[in-house]
Structure 1
Amino acid sequence: MDGTTIAVQAEILVPVEEAWKSWTSPEDIKQWNNASNDWHTPQAKNDLKKGGRFVYRMEARDKSSGFDFSGTYTEVVPNKLISYTIDDDRKVIVEFRAHKDRTTIIETFEAEQSNPIEMQREGWQAILNNFKHYVEK
């Protein structure tokens, strides 16, 4: 990673295999990939392999705005690591650390230049927290 990096993490109270499946399955991604209830992910495509691409369509529920969050995988180690490059050339690493019946997920990403660091951290943490809530219910 070349630029300023931000890390967020959460302890998920499920085994790593379950966390991995929910993190990578398009049907699951559509259920948890939003930072607030005002947003959702109506479409998700995920070709989880080195060189594979993902596209998550993120939209405001009131249809006032939306964007594609997309990129290319650079490394995939099942139940351990996903790294990818977002289409704006920022790098992201997602680590899955197994601890018996729970999993720690650590996401480290390069900051973008148009929003404050704390705002970016809060947004990514909110999505990770939403993932935790979804998987643990």
Structure 2
Amino acid sequence: METTTHSPITIEATVNAPVAKVWEYWNSPEHITQWCAASDDWHAPYSDNDPRTGGTFKTTMAAKDGSFSFDFGGEYSNVVDNQLMEYAMGDGRKVKVVFEDQGDSTRIIETFDPENQNPIEMQRGGWQAILDNFKRHTETN
């Protein structure tokens, strides 16, 4: 079987909230279930998160019509509160999330290894949509 290796993908957003609030909303299951979806016809009915080095996480992402769902999860390899999260997903792909404290706002830079099944732009768009949902949720709650 031939595998294709792609360069990591980076997305980002600036959230108009202090880093402590951004960190809390990023990591609290009660908030994750409110923002972790790429479109309005999907939702996250379940989330469990232990945001520490060696901790694990799992979020169920599901179509609202019940036609499909999957678990997104992994293990944290490096966590620095309010600054950095690095983890490996269940399939071994790596993700790095940097939280840059800018006073009244926080810049989030997320870099992830793409999978080989879907086009790169589709993956970038999906992850960016989830990050944009996070931004909206955090700024309005």
Aligned to 1:81: 84
What SS is found at the alignment partner of 1:100? coil
Measured after TM superposition, the shift of residue 3 of structure 1 is 5.0
What SS is found at the alignment partner of 1:18? helix
Aligned to 1:63: 66
Aligned to 2:97: 94
- Corresponding letter in the other structure for 2:11: V
Aligned to 2:34: 31
What SS is found at the alignment partner of 2:87? strand
Q: Which runs of 4+ in 1 moved over 4 A?
A: none
- Corresponding letter in the other structure for 1:111: P
TM-score between the two structures when normalised by the length of structure 1: 0.97
Q: For 1:3 and 1:20, how far apart are their aligned partners in 2?
A: 29
Q: For 1:4 and 1:62, how far apart are their aligned partners in 2?
A: 34
Measured after TM superposition, the shift of residue 51 of structure 1 is 1.1
Q: For 1:106 and 1:100, how far apart are their aligned partners in 2?
A: 16
Q: Tell me the percent identity.
A: 50
- Unpaired segments of 5 or more residues in structure 2? none
Q: For 1:104 and 1:44, how far apart are their aligned partners in 2?
A: 24
Q: Over aligned residue pairs, what C-alpha RMSD do you find?
A: 0.9
1:1-137 aligned at under 5 Å gives the runs 4-137=7-140
**How far does the alpha carbon of each residue in 1:80-109 deviate from its partner, in whole angstroms, 9 at most, with x for none?**
000000000000000000111000001000
Structure with greater strand percent: 1
What SS is found at the alignment partner of 1:115? coil
- Corresponding letter in the other structure for 1:95: V
TM-score between the two structures when normalised by the length of structure 2: 0.95
Q: For 1:26 and 1:46, how far apart are their aligned partners in 2?
A: 6
- Unpaired segments of 5 or more residues in structure 1? none
Q: For 1:8 and 1:87, how far apart are their aligned partners in 2?
A: 21
Q: For 1:50 and 1:26, how far apart are their aligned partners in 2?
A: 17
Residues paired across the two proteins, number: 136
Measured after TM superposition, the shift of residue 50 of structure 1 is 1.0
What SS is found at the alignment partner of 2:67? coil
